[in-house]
A and B are shown apart, each in its own frame.
Chain A
Amino acid sequence: MTAKLLKSAAPPAEDWPELVPLDMPSLPRLNLEHLPGWVGDYAQAISADTETPPELAAGMVLVTCATAAARRLRVMVKPGYVEPCNLWAVVALPPGNRKSAVQSAATASLITWERDQATIMEPEIQRLTSERKTLEARAKEKRNKAAKEKDHGKAEQLAREAADIEAELPEIPRPTQIWTSDATPERLGSLLAENNECMAWLSSEGGVFDLLQGRYSNGIPNLDLVLKAHSGDAERVDRGSRPPVFLRSPRLSIGLSPQPDVLRGLAAKPGFRGRGLLGRFLYLLPPSPLGYRPLGSNPVPKDVKDAYNAGLRAMLDWEPSLDEHREEQPHVLSLSPEAYSEWYAFAQAIEQQMRPGQPLEHFTDWAGKAPGAAARLAGILHGIKHAHGKPWEAAITADTMTDALEIMAVMTHHSLAAMDMMGTDPSIAAARQVWDWIKRGRRSHFTEREAFNALRSRFPRMDMLRSALSALKERGYLEMIEPPRDGPGRPPSPIVRVRTDISRDWQ
């Protein structure tokens, strides 16, 4: 009879809290078909050659093209609203993913172009250097004579002549530099000033964030110039012993491919989130192919490489527009009415998603800049399409805008995941490692001490492991059970019990 009674025995229904996933959500992949011909082909070829995700090559190639486009183009979305064409992009991948190789392949043309510019300018630099030295010697001679002259009138005349000569000393041009990989924010200001207010900061590491955090300025973040150089706002740059310069419209492109760990916790850095630094980047978080690569790379075809080099060089060689004072300024690209309609629909959709309860509610810093980023992207794609011509003579078409918006749609998903990741504390990364260990062993129960013994190389102290377990508990992955003490002495190790709907699937 009792056996009948106990036959109702069953696992109790459990009220686990809603699971807050540790894993990155499944993110959409970037389709390289949205990149115009020679750029899309090259990104695809680099990706195949280095066996890296196409997102890495796409991100780096896009920022390289933005470096060229920002020098000569800006996009007028509508009267009174103009966006520069510089771009900030981050493609995060774990170490060992050949990020440096991809970055080198994408930026090699910039180096070649810089070198060629230096060669072209060298005779002029030599001539002007010689002329300057001669004039300096003449000024010096005049000054010496003035010093020795006893006739006051003549001495004054000689001093004036020396001053006139010095006023006419020719500026020796510096070889053009369009990118750097390691510069403090202060040095960046000088570089922008010396290079027509355009510069790119390209690195396969995340050291840029350390520099911005004030690695060389006693930990005081120096973000003003960098923030303004995203939007092209005027800024004064102090240059140490040299006179300060005013940048009318600095344009800085940034292309980084750091490790995901670099991103974690960035939101907690003073000012990074609050002042909008992190919201200015477009992020891509492709899955790491390590462990799944066929290890049979295909070298980049020569014609594809040549087309990329020629296209990028053509963009870099675009003639500047001159204002009424004969000063260089970027050409203005306009949108076709259809392109504007596309852009406007995107901007409206983003706007609505920033409402409370909508997906972008907590990412308004990023979302607020997304329509502007889409316009910039459209300008860059338009420039790529018209690299060998004069892009400013044609309006941005609806097709180009659609491509830009398709790319932005993917980047929106990736960027939200990245912003989420940056807001998390390092214990989440630790929690992920503990969870990997649990998952590998399909453990439904284990003691804290068993985990400590197994993971001691990663968590040398129990406190560190407890912090990771606590993060897993908060997210509903497991619960901790304190076994009752059975007499004096050391208390028994707490038991970790894995969420049953997960552990049952492992059985």
Chain B
Amino acid sequence: MHSSAISFYDAICTAGLTPPDRIFPGKWHRFPGAGKGPANRSGWCLLFDDEQGGCFGDWSTGLRQDWFRDSSCVYSRHRQSADSNELRAARLQAEVSRQAQYENAANRARWIWDSSSGAPAGHSYLLLKGINPHNARVYNGLLVLPVTNFHGAITSLQFIAPNGQKRLLSGGRKQGCFIAVAGDEENVEKIVICEGWATGCTLAEHEPAALVLAAIDAGNLESVAVSARCHWPSAEIIIAGDDDRLTPGNPGATKAKAAAIAADALLALPQWPENAPAELTDFNDLALWQTGGDA
């Protein structure tokens, strides 16, 4: 690679991404996002034809960064304008590519969803978690859950194996989308937003009047909560967070609090009895443990 391509490569690595070993000028590259597996294509980069600049990003984290070979150099107005146009075009291309990927994933998700059948109450995972199937379906032995946006459209799917291993449909949109666990989306007075679907089922079974949404993970809580606030301005929103007591920084509680603040919502965390094991983290764990304890 030329020295500018190497500098560009280094800049991308510095941002925590792993671009392909060879970056060709003028070519649109896709690669795994930060912390993602080798099949992931959230990362992207484009080195301009003249190799004086470029841009890169990661859709999974929202990263988007411009890069110039010599950031201290004062370019002519013409050059600045050219760079600006090139950057704009690159960003547009990234956006178009992302939308195409989302569309493609959404199509696949709809097809799989339509091909799936209702989940049996005896599915191992449901038994493991002590919950009812609700809206879950089964596809090739896996529980399938629809990830939807606030317009009701399916954007992706979550698959849950009998042993509890979870996976999202690759390329699908997750940010700001959720799994609608239970409840009426028309006349909403109370919304409970939690991380996982199983936790949502536990909460829905004991709070039947509430609209329960699962945000899939802690990092998506704030997006879903803020969108929910925009969508239902007068509803009471409760963020039912996980309490990752054994994880440094307790990401579950921290992000739930941030989501509650951002969406002007109430925050609820599991209130652990004194003898509750420290491994328990969410409301489903607590309900199961208490049921077991009662038994």
- A and B found bound together: yes
Q: Tell me the A residues contacting B by CB distance below 8 Å.
A: 1-3, 5-6, 8-12, 14, 444-445, 481, 483-488, 492, 495, 497
Determine the chain B residues whose CB is within 8 A of the CB of A492 once the complex forms.
230
| CA gap between A10 and B241 in the complex, in Å | 12
With both beta carbons as reference points, the residue of chain A lying nearest to B96 in the complex is identified as A488
Q: Beyond A2-B283, A483-B227, A487-B149, is A9–B268 a contact (Cβ under 8 Å)?
A: yes
Are B268 and A5 touching (Cβ within 8 A)?
yes
Contact flags (1/0) for B252-280 with A, using CB distance below 8 Å? 00000100111010111111000000000
A2 touches B206 (CB 8 A): yes
Cβ-defined contact, B260 with A12, below 8 A: yes
B283 touches A5 (CB 8 A): yes
20 contacts between A and B (CB under 8 A): A3-B207, A5-B271, A5-B286, A6-B203, A8-B271, A9-B266, A12-B260, A12-B261, A12-B267, A445-B233, A481-B226, A483-B227, A483-B230, A484-B175, A484-B227, A485-B176, A486-B150, A486-B151, A487-B151, A488-B95
Contact of B238 with A by CB under 8 A: yes
How many angstroms between the C-alpha atoms of A1 and B288 in the bound complex?
A: 11
A497 and B150 within 8 A (CB): no
Residue pair B206, A444 in contact (C-beta under 8 Å): no
With A9-B238, A12-B260 already in contact, 13 other A-B pairs whose C-beta atoms are closer than 8 Å? A2-B202, A2-B205, A3-B207, A5-B283, A5-B287, A8-B269, A9-B266, A444-B264, A481-B262, A484-B226, A486-B176, A487-B151, A495-B229
Closest to A3 in B: B206
Which residues of A are found within 8 Å of B268, using beta-carbon distances? 5-6, 8-10
Kindly provide the distance from the CB of A293 to the nearest chain B CB, expressed in whole angstroms.
41
Q: Which of the residues A6, A14, A483, A497 comes within 8 Å of B192, measured between beta carbons? A: A6
Asked if B240 is an interface residue, CB under 8 A from chain A, the answer is yes
Q: Which residue on B lies nearest to A487, using beta carbons?
A: B149
Q: Name the 10 nearest CB pairs between A and B, nearest first.
A: A2-B206, A484-B176, A9-B268, A9-B266, A484-B223, A12-B267, A12-B260, A12-B257, A9-B238, A6-B268
CA distance A9 to B270 in the complex (A): 10
Q: Which residues of B contact A11 (CB under 8 A)?
A: 260, 266-267
B132, chain A: closest CB distance, angstroms = 14
Whether a CB of chain A sits under 8 angstroms from the CB of B93 is no
Bound-complex Cα distance A484 to B238 (A): 19
The CA of A153 and the CA of B269, in the complex, are separated in Å by 118
Beta-carbon nearest neighbor of A488 in chain B: B99
Chain B proximity of A443: nearest CB distance (Å):
12
- Interface of chain A, main secondary structure: loop
- B interface, CB within 8 angstroms of A: 95, 99, 149-151, 175-176, 192, 202-203, 205-207, 223, 226-227, 229-230, 233, 238, 240, 257, 260-262, 264, 266-271, 283, 286-287, 290
A484: chain B residues within 8 A (beta carbon)? 175-176, 223, 226-227
Task: Give the complex CA separation of A14 and B149 in angstroms.
Answer: 29
Closest CB of chain A to B204's CB: distance in Å?
A: 9
Residues from chain A with a CB closer than 8 A to the CB of B150 are: 486
Write the nearest CB–CB distance from A490 to chain B, whole angstroms: 13
Interchain CA distance A14-B265 in the complex, whole Å: 12
Measured between beta carbons, the chain B residues less than 8 angstroms from A2 are 202-203, 205-207, 283, 287
In the bound assembly, the distance between CA atoms of A492 and B231 in angstroms comes to 12
Contacts of A14 in B (CB 8 A): 261
> How near does chain B come to A118, taking the closest CB pair, in angstroms?
63
Chain B nearest CB, measured from A239 CB (Å): 48
Q: Most B CB atoms within 10 A — which of A2, A444, A488, A497?
A: A2
Other-chain contact of B267, A10, A445, A483, A486 (Cβ < 8 Å): A10
Please state if A486 and B260 are interface contacts (CB–CB under 8 Å): no
Residues of A within 8 A of B266 (CB): 9-12
Q: Give complex CA distance A6, B237 in Å.
A: 12
Bound complex: CA A492 to CA B271 (Å)? 36
Contact of B207 among A6, A12, A444, A481 (CB under 8 A): A6
Whether B271 pairs with A497 at a CB distance below 8 angstroms is no
B157 to chain A minimum Cβ distance, whole angstroms, is: 18
Within the complex, the shortest CB–CB distance from A3 to chain B, in Å, comes to 6
Measured between beta carbons, the chain A residues less than 8 angstroms from B149 are: 486-487
- Given A8-B268, A9-B238, does the pair A486, B205 have CB atoms closer than 8 Å? no
In the assembled complex, the Cα of A185 lies from the Cα of B149 at a distance in Å of 68
Nearest-neighbour CB distance to chain B for A32, whole angstroms, equals 50
Complex interface: chain A residues within 8 A of B271 (CB): 5, 8
Q: How far is the CB of A473 from chain B (nearest CB, A)?
A: 14
Q: Which residues of A contact B267 (CB under 8 A)?
A: 9-12
